[in-house]
Structure 1
Amino acid sequence: MHRSTLAMILVAGLLVWPGQAASAASVVYEAESAAIGNGVVESNHAGFSGTGFVNSANAAGAYVEFTVTGAGDTNLAFRYANGTTIARPATLTVNGSTIETLQFAGTGAWTTWDNETVAAVLAQGANSVRLTATTAAGLPNVDALTEGAEGGGGTGPIADPIPQNPIQSDLGLVLTEYAQFPRTEPVPSPTDSRLRRHARINHLGQLADGRRFVPDLNGRLYTLPAGGGTPGVYLDVRAAVGGNFFSGRGLGSGFGFVAFHPDFAANGRFYTAHSEAFQALSTQRADWTQSGAVVQSVVTEWTASDPAAPVFSGTRRQLLRLGFGTYIHGIQQIDFNPNATPGSPDYGLLYVAAGDGGRGTSSTVPQARNQPFGKILRIDPRGSDSANGRYGIPAGNPFTGQPGTLGEIYALGMRDPHRFSWDRGGSGRMFLGHIGEHDIEAVYDVRAGDNFGWSEREGAFRFDRSEPCYLYPLPADDSRFGYTYPVAAYDHNGPPGCTGDLGRAIAGGFVYRGAALPALRGKYLFGDLVQGWIFATNEIEMTRGGTDLAPLHQLKIYNAAGSQVTMQTLAGNSRVDLRFGMDRAGDLFVLSKANGKIWKVTGTR
């Protein structure tokens, strides 16, 4: 993101947006402007706001004291980093009275910033707000204090949209290496180092005959035996497409996904989504296109002459082609509802998650019902009543037959609908992991006709396209818009304003209903694809109909030998590029593009 012009007044470390009373918005107090006892101001760890942060001595009694102007009930959010694994507790006092002891848990690195938030009551006028270290380790590095962290009931920018951070769980996953994939290369040669991965594997599923399948964005579709091991190439999409195949620009470009028809064993049909550019932009007509398209996403139906064969042989035909104006947020996933049974209305219908093409920050494209961008579509691959005659529009879709609206639309208002899945037991609900723009990584409970609000909303917050560097409280009359808000979410915990890529992006996962791991049953497991964090929340607590969020728990990771590790260690890289997979038995798998490996979740502890 680029930073738009925003006039601000900075006085003695106090950040205030002009035209508002300080009590009507979140107010940020920089720690370097506070009173410091036994500590210094430093700037050697990236990610801080303002001009630096306070690094206290390793001593009990070290303190940082802010002078805060306000009155009444409020929230105080302390932005900090603790690169150790041990909490650095501190006593919080307001005007000399002890409020509580804050723990300031480890954040994993001195460049990883988090927020510790507490409710407090301020007196009218100036208030002294002090953090005092209670152990010989001293304070964490303290970056800033935000007063009114949930927006203070006004309309101004929100400094910490989701002050409730994921809870560090005592529960951990045991990961056992399952498969190693060969190195592949993007085309054209990438200029973005994030595309230089060992193998850009991004999903694992299973056929009825036991074979696991794994797509690589650089073009190959692999199969694996049930026990894992050496992958075999079932289909080379890149070779089949030829010179127009494109995977070297944009993190989602290439052979993005594969979905096998639920009756593949009999009809041999499966579907892929891939990217094309080069000559395709001038020779292949898109069904819908954004202006200045630089890449096209294509959905293809393949029919295998022998579904049981180890290598594909058969025919293919194009179903859908969309042109995107940037290299980001194309068609991300296609899939069938695994809960649908033969004869049921949803059986054999293909869901297609199409991103906004990066245009949502400057337009209302995701809200436009006459365009497929920023939507989840649902189509019938065997029908023919679409505008291009290559697929059908299900009669049960929420907007079928409505003038000026695409009948293909199942749900709308999305930026990057990255990964969706269905709960294969229990509720049977469809959950979407949605990558946000400024701050919100969200999980949605997806139902027909839903509108998730982008680009008027990001999560349960107002997004202002004229000032994309901040999020704002919902208006008082928000209910009239009918938006659906997340059931679970976490935020970036970045400093105020536009900060560039902070390395946060959700990797949607699955609800575990398997028999092997009782401690996980009924939990939705997902993660952060950059950092490699793995989260869990109880499916039953993911409730629709408001802005309340289910509590998130960050799980520990253990290798097969029983040692606690991180996904960054297992992947051998600080950018994990985490993805999840699930087989027909409900067993979970964890994938990393960084080193092209898959691990099976074989236990908990």
Structure 2
Amino acid sequence: MRSPIRARSLAGALVAGLVLGLLAALPATAAPTRYEAEGATVFQGAVEANHAGFSGTGFVNTDNVAGSYVEFAVDAAGAGSAAIAIRYANGTTVNRPADVAVNGVVVSAGRAFNGTGGWDAWATSTLTAPVKAGANTVRITSTTAGGTPNLDFADVEVTVAGDDYQAENATISQGIVDDKHAGFTGTGFVDYANVAGSSVEFTVNAATAGNYGLAFRFANGSTADRPMDVSVNGVRVSAGLSFPGTGAWTTWVERSVTAGLVAGANKVRATATTAGGGPNLDRLSAAAPADAEPPTAPANLRLVGEVKPTSADLAWDASTDNVGVSQYKIYNGGNVLMTVGGNVTATTLSGLTPNTRYVLSVLAYDAAGNASQGGNNVDVTTPPSDDTRPPSTPAGLRATGVAAATVTLAWNASADDIGVTGYNVYRDGTKFATVPDLTATADGLAPNTTYAFTVEAFDANGNLSPRSAPLAVKTSGTAGGGDPVYDRDVAELDLPWGVAFLPDGSALVAERDRFEIVRVTQSGQKTVAGKITEAVTTSGEGGLLGLAISPSFATDHYVYAFHTAASDNRVVRFTYENGRIGAREPLVTGIAKNKFHNGGRIKFGPDGFLYVTTGDAQDGNRAQNLNSLNGKILRVTPTGAGAPGNPFPAAPRVYSLGHRNPQGLAWDSQGRLWESEFGDATLDELNLIQPGKNYGWPNCEGRCGNSAYVNPVQQWDVAAASPSGLEIVNGWIYMAAVRGQRLWVMKITGSTTDTPRAFFNSRWGRLRTVVKTPDGGLWLTSTNNDKNGGTPSVLDNTVVRLKFAAASAVPAGGATG
């Protein structure tokens, strides 16, 4: 007989947020917390991994005896009810019933866990039970000699108790009260008319002002999403909130948002946004003001044992929280690699790429979604694997664009037994580009000249494919009007992030980790103008970031900066006079900061107002919350107040929302604002910004089918771009790519662009900022060695000047000038 044990992780936990069963369609903003069985307390059972389809690192196979159990430790932000979804497999044809107990009280006796058709066929059984604030236990105990089924995990979503408001008593527009589907509370539910604009409005009384959890109980027996806008006191707080199919009209679930309420009466309206109308709506629950205190940062992240080619064992010290830690997220840079339960402080990070550098950190999150600050970084490079097989030869090499000085190439993907890492591209036998995708542009060519191009693939171990057959391409006699051409090196600096040109033609440059403002002339002469002593690092992406020059600099001498401070991110201004910067005046404060996702670009628009990009500070819920300045583009006056004409009266500084980590801003000749944005693990974006619009994060990354969100104009795999700075010159967009290590170039055509082309691939490394110069060129900056707080003692980055290829025809045999 086994004594109670704490099962250890075998290979790492799966990224949380995928909710199976009836909760499968709920978006991440209402996602339950996942508790893996292999991280629970097991009595008379073992952790195994011999049947496919499980989550995390394994599942629990209890002994075939009555009384064997698995007990989960569950944290709740407050007292209320919990929806508990138990994922299991039963490869027999016999029911394996179990008692489900919460805090020692059986809430479902002899609950059926019938056969699922195979041990690798997983099903979900969902029940609701009361929980208390803080720590809870959920125990599943076998009641027969067959033991329990194999148990994979429990997904737990807690709804904190609060005032309930029945939909049938609310104000209904284009809908009826009905009672034909069982399972509702009160005397009935509201059946929305199948039209956009149908709505239900509740009057919610709040004892005090604060952020309340609003939980809509609904059923949707269709297979189509029925999104709704949620507004509070006439201000939309969530656009196109998803109300997906629940499996049947008698299956009721809750969809929650957090919104600020004023003390006293509040009008909360849920309005259908599509022709399908809203779901059947049972009630609205308004929970007490949400927990706003984040956990402490996880400390002492460390490697345990040797790093393997595809995995690394990690451990860290537990965070503390006023209610309880719900989960930990493991990041590589700003991208989530894994999520584990709040009771887990050691795991195996699997699925890594051999021979690859990772900068790892851990953040803690509580049940209310509050994110801790990032803990310490662990910089690790995986060793090579024993793979010696090269990728296949790239096929289909072709020219997709030819001009006098440039040739743009594309090819078909190679195959590899492990995976292709990238491609080397050659011109006349000399390598000129290394890229992560299937395109590159050769620049600096002579007109009317034939060149031979080849390409080879490589994997993480450096195994090289054979090169493709040479492709002969003759340049034309006509230069591409928007094609950039390298002109000269300007200066070497430490992480030159923000660049803003003064009226005399010189520029002020912000060095991210040295916190210095440096004046750089066109000839490259450097003078330190001063240091922003209030700036701090985050050992990630924070520090001294964007710069902007006042439109009235000739009279007011103001310079604006975005920087990370001890408690927040903020926008400040100061004078620049006689070559020195003055004292800083805070203008916009209270922008949440974190190790990553800080945004930081600032620019004055054609309207004379200052535009500010803010990241979500590693909490995606902020992007949809108008009470937060994070995950937004802000538009403010030169003194930091909300600019006139902004679209949200209750959020006067907010111009657009639903952004993850917006980086670049630029206006075209029509006065339209374009923006570049870091994606998470999948897609980066180029967006055309409209005031008041929602760009989808965290519900969408890249293009999605929800009409409540604006789709990007262009999107890229994150390895190909990770875009930062943005500039527009004569209808051409120039976008600097950090991870992609190239400058993306595209021409605006109406409300979209032509096919983007990649210039200067891997030439200067990670490219951060691109800005037009007073003399008609571009400055382009690199920010290499920026992942782990930078190397502020070393000037290891560059500013280069680019010029534009002449647009006139060049005679055969002639030269460009």
Instruction: Output the TM-score relative to the length of structure 2.
Output: 0.41
Q: Higher helix fraction: Structure 1 or Structure 2?
A: 1
How many angstroms does 1:3 deviate by?
4.1
Q: Distance in 2 between matches of 1:249 and 1:178?
A: 28
How many angstroms does 1:418 deviate by?
1.0
Report if the CA contact (8 A) 2:594-2:617 is conserved. yes
Which amino acid in structure 1 is aligned with residue 755 of structure 2? P
Which amino acid in structure 2 is aligned with residue 601 of structure 1? L
Q: Distance in 2 between matches of 1:82 and 1:352?
A: 37
SS at match of 2:544: coil
How many angstroms does 1:233 deviate by?
1.5
Q: Which residue does 1:255 correspond to in 2?
A: 544
How many angstroms does 1:490 deviate by?
1.4
| Gap regions ≥5 residues in structure 1 | 11-16, 21-42, 61-75, 88-105, 116-136, 144-167, 183-198, 282-295, 340-345, 383-390, 462-473, 493-501, 514-521, 544-548, 558-565
Which amino acid in structure 1 is aligned with residue 508 of structure 2? F
SS at match of 2:554: helix
Deviations 1:147-187 (CA, angstroms, capped at 9, x unpaired) = xxxxxxxxxxxxxxxxxxxxx999663323342235xxxxx
How many angstroms does 1:567 deviate by?
4.2
Q: Say if 1:503 and 1:438 are closer, same or farther in 2 by CA, change over 3 A.
A: same
How many angstroms does 1:139 deviate by?
9.2
Report if the CA contact (8 A) 2:767-2:780 is conserved. no
Deviations 1:547-603 (CA, angstroms, capped at 9, x unpaired) = xx7421123x4xxxxxxxx543xx3xxx42432122235421111133322111134
1:59-208 counterparts in 2 under 5 A? 82-83=423-424, 85=426, 112=436, 114=438, 173-182=484-493, 199-208=494-503
Q: Which residue does 1:445 correspond to in 2?
A: 688
Q: Distance in 2 between matches of 1:230 and 1:312?
A: 18
Report if the CA contact (8 A) 2:685-2:714 is conserved. yes
Deviations 1:75-99 (CA, angstroms, capped at 9, x unpaired) = x987655445389xxxxxxxxxxxx
Which of the residues 410, 414, 433 maps onto 2:659?
414
Q: Say if 1:336 and 1:52 are closer, same or farther in 2 by CA, change over 3 A.
A: same
Q: Distance in 1 between matches of 2:455 and 2:740?
A: 27
Report if the CA contact (8 A) 2:392-2:414 is conserved. no
Q: Say if 1:59 and 1:534 are closer, same or farther in 2 by CA, change over 3 A.
A: closer
Which amino acid in structure 1 is aligned with residue 580 of structure 2? V
Q: Distance in 2 between matches of 1:376 and 1:531?
A: 24
Q: Distance in 1 between matches of 2:781 and 2:414?
A: 34
Report if the CA contact (8 A) 2:436-2:740 is conserved. no
Q: Say if 1:312 and 1:276 are closer, same or farther in 2 by CA, change over 3 A.
A: closer
Q: Which residue does 1:326 correspond to in 2?
A: 594
SS at match of 2:749: helix
Q: Distance in 2 between matches of 1:78 and 1:246?
A: 44
Q: Which residue does 1:596 correspond to in 2?
A: 797
Q: Distance in 2 between matches of 1:334 and 1:578?
A: 14
Report if the CA contact (8 A) 1:54-1:141 is conserved. no
Deviations 1:237-283 (CA, angstroms, capped at 9, x unpaired) = 13xx3xxx3125112x1111221110111012221111122xxx4xx
How many angstroms does 1:542 deviate by?
4.2
Q: Distance in 1 between matches of 2:634 and 2:773?
A: 24
Which amino acid in structure 1 is aligned with residue 695 of structure 2? F
Q: Distance in 1 between matches of 2:762 and 2:523?
A: 20
1:217-296 counterparts in 2 under 5 A? 217=512, 218-225=514-521, 227-238=522-533, 241=534, 245-247=535-537, 249-251=539-541, 253-277=542-566, 281=567, 296=568
- Which moves more between the two structures, 168-177 or 321-330? 168-177
1:312 aligns with 2:593: no
Which amino acid in structure 2 is aligned with residue 408 of structure 1? R
How many angstroms does 1:503 deviate by?
7.7
Q: Distance in 2 between matches of 1:51 and 1:455?
A: 38
Which amino acid in structure 2 is aligned with residue 220 of structure 1? E
Q: Distance in 2 between matches of 1:261 and 1:454?
A: 31
SS at match of 1:414: coil
Q: Distance in 2 between matches of 1:211 and 1:138?
A: 41
1:397 aligns with 2:646: yes
Report if the CA contact (8 A) 2:414-2:457 is conserved. no
Q: Say if 1:396 and 1:254 are closer, same or farther in 2 by CA, change over 3 A.
A: same
How many angstroms does 1:229 deviate by?
1.7
Q: Distance in 2 between matches of 1:107 and 1:529?
A: 18
How many angstroms does 1:235 deviate by?
2.5
Q: Which residue does 1:373 correspond to in 2?
A: 630
Structure with greater contact order relative to length (CA < 8 Å, sep ≥ 6): 1
Q: Say if 1:141 and 1:430 are closer, same or farther in 2 by CA, change over 3 A.
A: same
Deviations 1:494-529 (CA, angstroms, capped at 9, x unpaired) = xxxxxxxx585112321122xxxxxxxx21111321
How many angstroms does 1:113 deviate by?
5.5
Deviations 1:39-80 (CA, angstroms, capped at 9, x unpaired) = xxxx98879xx99796478899xxxxxxxxxxxxxxx98765
Which amino acid in structure 1 is aligned with residue 629 of structure 2? P
Q: Distance in 2 between matches of 1:535 and 1:431?
A: 14
Q: Distance in 2 between matches of 1:373 and 1:504?
A: 23
Which of the residues 5, 15, 18 maps onto 1:4?
15
Which amino acid in structure 2 is aligned with residue 380 of structure 1? T
Q: Distance in 1 between matches of 2:386 and 2:53?
A: 15
Across the two proteins, how many residue pairs are aligned to each other? Answer: 376
Report if the CA contact (8 A) 2:574-2:581 is conserved. no
1:554 aligns with 2:799: no
Which amino acid in structure 2 is aligned with residue 417 of structure 1? P
1:426-505 counterparts in 2 under 5 A? 426-461=669-704, 474=705, 478-479=706-707, 481=708, 483-492=709-718, 502=719, 504-505=721-722
Q: Higher strand fraction: Structure 1 or Structure 2?
A: 2
1:301 aligns with 2:491: no
Q: Distance in 1 between matches of 2:455 and 2:599?
A: 49
How many angstroms does 1:393 deviate by?
2.2
Q: Which residue does 1:29 correspond to in 2?
A: none
How many angstroms does 1:220 deviate by?
1.1
Q: Say if 1:539 and 1:45 are closer, same or farther in 2 by CA, change over 3 A.
A: same
Q: Distance in 1 between matches of 2:555 and 2:652?
A: 29
Deviations 1:99-129 (CA, angstroms, capped at 9, x unpaired) = xxxxxxx9955x94659xxxxxxxxxxxxxx
Root-mean-square deviation (CA), in Å? 4.1
Q: Say if 1:459 and 1:219 are closer, same or farther in 2 by CA, change over 3 A.
A: same
Taking only the aligned residue pairs, the percentage that are identical comes to 20
SS at match of 1:266: helix
Q: Which residue does 2:154 correspond to in 1?
A: none
How many angstroms does 1:438 deviate by?
1.5
Deviations 1:403-447 (CA, angstroms, capped at 9, x unpaired) = xx4121100000001121222xx3222111100001111111112
Q: Distance in 2 between matches of 1:326 and 1:59?
A: 41
**Larger Rg over CA atoms:** 2
Q: Which residue does 2:745 correspond to in 1?
A: 536
Q: Say if 1:455 and 1:2 are closer, same or farther in 2 by CA, change over 3 A.
A: farther
